Every structure is written in structure tokens, then in C-alpha cells.
């Protein structure tokens, strides 16, 4: 008798079990946003700007996911924020067990916000729950205005979409209203923020969103 095993299903089930344990660990104490985007959209730059605004008020740490190098983690460490680098060695996403091991090694202590910067990819990270409170999709205006409908899963699941590099809007072909329509179609209740780390536009709103969500999580506990 031959038994067919759905390997992907079993992997996802194991990941879900690990994610549930992580969520219990973070419950009522730590807000965990999971940042997902294509490479070069500005995830690390957004985190640098966020750290510069919130580090004096909140206890922050970052788990970085990359295929190779610790460059992104080093950028955040230079700002005085604990950052742990997960090197996937070719894998296109992080999983919950990797996050659990990273926490065991990092010894971050008590945190208000733990950012997870996923591997640059709009597809693979979408399916993997990391025990986060919500997913954040980043889309830079340099990537084109067709991405939400081309990669619907992440933009449908992300509670927050951050449009980055908006200072470049006068210099690129990017239909902002078309993107708004796509995002509203895929996720009518999602938040959409326009930001520029270079000019500071939208960063106050982004930081305020994080603080509101942290307060709401703790008040609901």
C-alpha cells in the first residue's frame, strides 16, 4: 500500500504549531509586526527611521531574515537597537521555528515591539505565520503600480500596507489612486500609509499606528 504524504502541508502544520507557541509567548506584552516586501522596497530603511523616533519611548528589537550577510542587522545595531540575524542560506522566507531559535539565542529581554524583517520576497513569506500580531506589506513607488493585483495574497493578508519612497512620485510612473483601488479591493479594512524615510513624510503616522496597536493589545489582555 502506497501512502502519499503532502510534505508542504505537514511543513505548514509544524509551522502553525510553533507559531501558536510564539503567539502565547508574545501575548499581552510585545507587539510583533512582520514586514514583508520585495528586495529594495525599503524595509530596513523604514526600521532605521522608526528606531530613531521610538527608541527613547519603547523597548525595541529586530529579527532580520536574509539569505546571506548581516548587513541589515548591522545597520540597526549601529543605532543601538538589538538585532538578531537569521541567515536562511537560500530559503526565501522565515519560519516560526527559526524565530523561536533566534529568540532563544538573542536574549532580548522584555520588549514593547519586536520587528521581524522577513526575507525580501512577496510570495513565500505570505504563507508562514511567525506568531506575529499583523503583517505589514511594503511597496515602493519605484516598483510599479501593478503589484497588488499581481501578488494578491500578501496585500490581502497584510493589515497594513506601507507605500515607501513617496518623495519619488514626481519622478516615476506610479498611479497612486489605482494602487489605492487595488488595495481596497483586496483588503477593504487594511491601513494604507504613505511614507518617505528621506523626507520624513508619513513616519509620525506609522509610529503612531504602532503605539496604538501596542496599547490596544495590552488593554485587551
Q: Which residues pair with 117 in a beta bridge?
A: 35, 64
Question: Per-residue pLDDT for the chain (221 aa), expressed as one digit of tens each?
Answer: 455 557 678 888 999 999 999 999 999 899 999 999 999 999 999 999 999 999 999 999 999 999 999 999 999 999 999 999 999 999 999 999 999 999 999 999 999 999 999 999 999 999 999 999 999 999 999 999 999 999 999 999 999 999 999 999 999 999 999 999 999 999 999 999 999 999 999 999 999 999 999 999 999 97
Question: What domains are defined for the chain?
Answer: 7-220 (3.40.50.300)
Question: Which residue is it, cell 510553533?
Answer: 18
Helix (H, G, I), strand (E, B) or coil at 164: strand
**Residue 133 in contact with residue 164, Cβ under 8 Å?**
no
The candidate with the shortest Cα–Cα distance to 46, out of 173, 160, 176, 178, is: 160
Q: Which residues pair with 189 in a beta bridge?
A: none
Q: Which residues pair with 191 in a beta bridge?
A: 160
Q: How much helix, strand and coil, in percent to the nearest 5, is found in the chain?
A: 45, 15, 35
Question: Which residue is it, cell 548581516?
Answer: 70
Across all residues in the chain, what is the average pLDDT? 95
**Residue 160 in contact with residue 209, Cβ under 8 Å?**
yes
- Strands 134-140, 60-66: pairing is unpaired
Amino acid at each position: 500500500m502506497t501512502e502519499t504524504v503532502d510534505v508542504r502541508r505537514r511543513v505548514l502544520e509544524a509551522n502553525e504549531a510553533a507559531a501558536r507557541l510564539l503567539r502565547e509567548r508574545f501575548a499581552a506584552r510585545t507587539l510583533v509586526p512582520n514586514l514583508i516586501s520585495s528586495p529594495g522596497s525599503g524595509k530596513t530603511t523604514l526600521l532605521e527611521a522608526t528606531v530613531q523616533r521610538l527608541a527613547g519611548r519603547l523597548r525595541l528589537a529586530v529579527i532580520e531574515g536574509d539569505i546571506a550577510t548581516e548587513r541589515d542587522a548591522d545597520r540597526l545595531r549601529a543605532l543601538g537597537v538589538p538585532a538578531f540575524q537569521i541567515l536562511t542560506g537560500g530559503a526565501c522566507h522565515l519560519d516560526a521555528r527559526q524565530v523561536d531559535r533566534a529568540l532563544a539565542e538573542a536574549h532580548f529581554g522584555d520588549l514593547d515591539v519586536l520587528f521581524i524583517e522577513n526575507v525580501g520576497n512577496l510570495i513565500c513569506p505570505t504563507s508562514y505565520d511567525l506568531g506575529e500580531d499583523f503583517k505589514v506589506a511594503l511597496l515602493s513607488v519605484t516598483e510599479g503600480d501593478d503589484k497588488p493585483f499581481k501578488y494578491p495574497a500578501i496585500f490581502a493578508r497584510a493589515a497594513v500596507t506601507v507605500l515607501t519612497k513617496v518623495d519619488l512620485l514626481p519622478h516615476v510612473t506610479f498611479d497612486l489612486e489605482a494602487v489605492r483601488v487595488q488595495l481596497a479591493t483586496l483588503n477593504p479594512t487594511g491601513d494604507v500609509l504613505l511614507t518617505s524615510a528621506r523626507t520624513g513624510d508619513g513616519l509620525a503616522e506609522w509610529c503612531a499606528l504602532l503605539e496604538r496597536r501596542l496599547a490596544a493589545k495590552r488593554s485587551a489582555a
